[in-house]
């Protein structure tokens, strides 16, 4: 167990350092797509990506605490296999994204799968040290994975939708993941990350249909997160 805890810390540090490999990365470039899009409606406004700073810091603190105080804890260890896969893939994701949005989309779904699996297996104890760190990470990946699908589909001109249609379809896909995850592994940080992304889509689109849809989705996820949190408190 201690070896896995150490590997989590190493992988987390490598993941947090990965932006140094691609300084100034701001998302896929329009030239990477057969149908270039200067301002894709599915993509959140640029400020939203600042959440990565919080995600990296929280994951590092979680990994450090896990090695220091919970290395032999079987409940923590149940999350480590899936999380290690997610972090290891995340450590190489940025260079791949610079080369190929298609490969990057495949990899980000692997990252999401590992993060969500780890979140679902996380214990209720040590919420701030483990579940909420995983929740913020998995919540943002839920949004980012869906956005990546919307970008690739619209960027390759996949029928039957255009950019706006694929944006709404991608948001629906994100909600189809976010709702059951919120119900199975209640985490305010998970809901907050999804809402953060949706609000940034509203900012990106304004009063356009995609903006209205994202606003309604943000309100829905926020309400669900609050309801689940109350249910958890009542259950003790």
Contacts of 137 by beta carbon, 8 Å cutoff, 6+ apart: 55, 58, 59, 86, 115, 193
pLDDT less than 50: residues of the chain: none
> Measured in whole angstroms, how far is the alpha carbon of residue 31 from the centre of its chain?
25
The pLDDT value given to residue 87:
98
Q: Quick one: pLDDT at residue 172?
A: 98
pLDDT number for residue 169 = 97
Query: Nearest to residue 182, comparing CAs of 116, 86, 84, 115?
Result: 116
Q: How far apart are CA 210 and CA 202, in angstroms?
A: 7
What's the pLDDT score for residue 236?
63
Domain coordinates in residue numbering, the chain = 2-19+41-235
SS3 per residue for 160-179? CCCHHHHHHHHHHHHHHHHH
For position 125, what pLDDT does the model report? 86
CA triple 198-181-104, angle to 5 deg = 60
């Amino acid at each position: 167990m201690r070896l896995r805890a150490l590997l989590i810390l190493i992988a987390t540090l490598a993941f947090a350092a990965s932006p140094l490999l691609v300084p100034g990365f701001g998302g896929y470039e329009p030239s990477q797509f057969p149908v270039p899009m200067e301002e894709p409606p599915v993509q959140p406004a640029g400020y939203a990506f600042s959440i990565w700073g919080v995600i990296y810091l929280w994951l590092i603190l979680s990994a450090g605490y896990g090695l220091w105080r919970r290395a032999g804890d079987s409940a923590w260890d149940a999350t480590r296999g899936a999380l290690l896969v997610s972090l290891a893939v995340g450590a190489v994701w940025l260079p791949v994204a610079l080369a190929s949005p298609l490969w990057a989309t495949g990899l980000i779904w692997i990252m999401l799968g590992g993060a969500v699996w780890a979140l679902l297996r996380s214990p209720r104890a040590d919420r701030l040290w483990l579940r909420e760190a995983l929740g913020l990470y998995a919540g943002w990946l839920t949004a980012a994975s869906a956005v990546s699908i919307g970008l690739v589909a619209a960027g390759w001109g996949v029928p039957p939708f255009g950019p706006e249609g694929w944006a709404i379809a991608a948001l629906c896909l994100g909600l189809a993941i976010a709702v059951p995850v919120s119900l199975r592994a209640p985490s305010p940080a998970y809901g907050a990350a999804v809402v953060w992304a949706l609000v940034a889509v509203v900012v990106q689109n304004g009063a356009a249909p995609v903006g209205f849809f994202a606003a309604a989705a943000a309100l829905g996820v926020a309400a669900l997160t609050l309801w689940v949190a109350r249910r958890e408190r009542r259950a003790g």
